[in-house]
Structure 1
């Protein structure tokens, strides 16, 4: 059986591994780049390119499990140049919701702040501390004052994450809307990566 590499954002590691295990996709191998690249989206494209070039000889195909993720189309152009496919969509919030559905609803949610299971677990490390709110909590309303709600897109039904999301919403001063999305178009994209 031929093998495929899923080159993924570290923020998707648990979800992708869960899908591999759940579906018995033994032909898929997972390698993740650090999730912290999202703090510097201008570095995502070059890091993906380095990894594709590094692993290309070891796998029959490589699938890039990133959406655009703030690269301004740069990642898609680089993937096309390298001859590898990637997840369609602007970001993980879109593909978790389902890209078509997100495109329809996001116009009405321009003032929503989104969280995934990963971000609920890593909120302080990926949002609060990088914004300096651990040192300057008085800046909270400056950063989040134009948001009208916090949308937690739950990939799993986990009471611990639900409780954390409630705490985060209070910390941000926003009402919480929990939306179970499951894996959305992430599962669809990975299911299409067949052994060759």
Structure 2
């Protein structure tokens, strides 16, 4: 879910030596698959001779299982419970705290993949009346914009309207992702 953003940061910081390996984005629908897949990916990377490995996943619903995998292999991951936190920056996310408790977040990725990640899997393309069942407890949609792309913002605005939510845009850029990748590229601490 953050591959495009990792590649953009990699290019911006001139980190040509970094290699990116991705797990399927749909694992976010099944967080129990993240830790075992990451365990296998890290083991493979190590067997391929990679020594400095950084996990670009936040916890993403693994309930700490991803941290156990990282500890097992002696690797670090990006801080945070999810990308919504690290895109805003952990300090900003923590300061917002409970005021965002009823917020449905979208990122550039989720705007690009709105149909594939929400409309079709939830059946909203066939049964839009289900939106109230799925999203009725939310009050606002916050688009955490990594880029200034009017077409992506248009998706977020339409999604807020369809879901009956207030709309807010926060221009976050890459948040804590950029400094985390810069530290990872510098090598072990």
Instruction: Give the conservation status (yes or no) of the 8 Å contact 1:68–1:91.
Output: yes
Describe how 1:13-28 pairs up with structure 2 within 5 A: 13-28=3-18
1:47 and 2:12 correspond: no
> Residues 41-67 of structure 1: CA distance to partner in whole angstroms, max 9, x if unpaired?
110000000111111133121111000
- State the shift of 1:151 in Å: 0.2
- State the shift of 1:168 in Å: 1.3
Matching residue within 125, 131, 136 for 2:127:
136
1:181 and 2:181 correspond: no
> Residues 68-110 of structure 1: CA distance to partner in whole angstroms, max 9, x if unpaired?
0000011011111111110110000000000111012031110
> Secondary structure of the equivalent of 1:151?
strand
Question: 2: CA distance between counterparts of 1:18 and 1:88?
Answer: 19
Which consecutive residues of structure 2, in runs of 5 or more, have no partner in the other structure?
none
Instruction: Give the conservation status (yes or no) of the 8 Å contact 1:64–1:85.
Output: yes
Instruction: Give the conservation status (yes or no) of the 8 Å contact 1:41–1:70.
Output: yes
Instruction: Give the conservation status (yes or no) of the 8 Å contact 1:27–1:195.
Output: no
Question: 2: CA distance between counterparts of 1:147 and 1:106?
Answer: 15
> Secondary structure of the equivalent of 1:114?
strand
Aligned residues: 186
Query: When the two structures are superposed, what TM-score results if normalisation uses the length of structure 1?
Result: 0.91
| Alignment correspondent of 2:182 | 191
* More strand as a share of residues: 1
- State the shift of 1:160 in Å: 1.1
- State the shift of 1:195 in Å: 4.5
Instruction: Give the conservation status (yes or no) of the 8 Å contact 1:12–1:118.
Output: yes
> Secondary structure of the equivalent of 2:20?
strand
Query: When the two structures are superposed, what TM-score results if normalisation uses the length of structure 2?
Result: 0.95
Which consecutive residues of structure 1, in runs of 5 or more, have no partner in the other structure?
1-10
| Alignment correspondent of 2:138 | 147
Q: CA RMSD in A?
A: 1.1
